[in-house]
Amino acid sequence: MPNLSKRFTPTQLAEAITAKRTGMKLSLVDVSESLSISKPTLVKIEKGDTNVKLANLLKVMEYLGLTFSLLSDDATSKEETGVSDDWY
């Protein structure tokens, strides 16, 4: 599993997906057939290719039990506006 305390990168997400899939002892074919996506698409996802459809990426993540959160880098945005822009 990649170091999740570092700033997010597509490569970090790809490494997490690959680690989770292999940790579950699932092959590329197992996952691609279960989700009805092509094996080359899954390979692109696991290489961090940013040209894949977000829907396919989210399908793979959900299937593997992975989630992510979007948080603002602006620590003052919440205090100044009273509105949180954190996503969960």
Judge whether 1 lies within some domain.
Answer: no
pLDDT of residue 69: 75
- What's the domain range around 47? 7-88
Judge whether 51 lies within some domain.
Answer: yes
Long-range contacts of 41-49 (CB under 8 A, 24+ apart): 45/14, 45/17, 46/14, 46/17, 46/18, 46/21, 47/14, 48/9, 48/10, 48/11, 48/13, 48/14, 48/15, 49/10
High-pLDDT (> 70) share of the chain, %: 72
Cut 0.75: pTM above it? no
Relative orientation angle of helices 28-35 and 39-46, to the nearest 10 degrees = 120
pLDDT of residue 61: 96
Indicate the number of domains in the chain: 1
Assign residue 60 the CATH number of its domain.
Answer: 1.10.260.40
Judge whether 2 lies within some domain.
Answer: no
pLDDT of residue 88: 42
Residues 46-86: pLDDT tens digits? Answer: 999 999 999 999 999 999 999 877 766 665 545 555 555 45
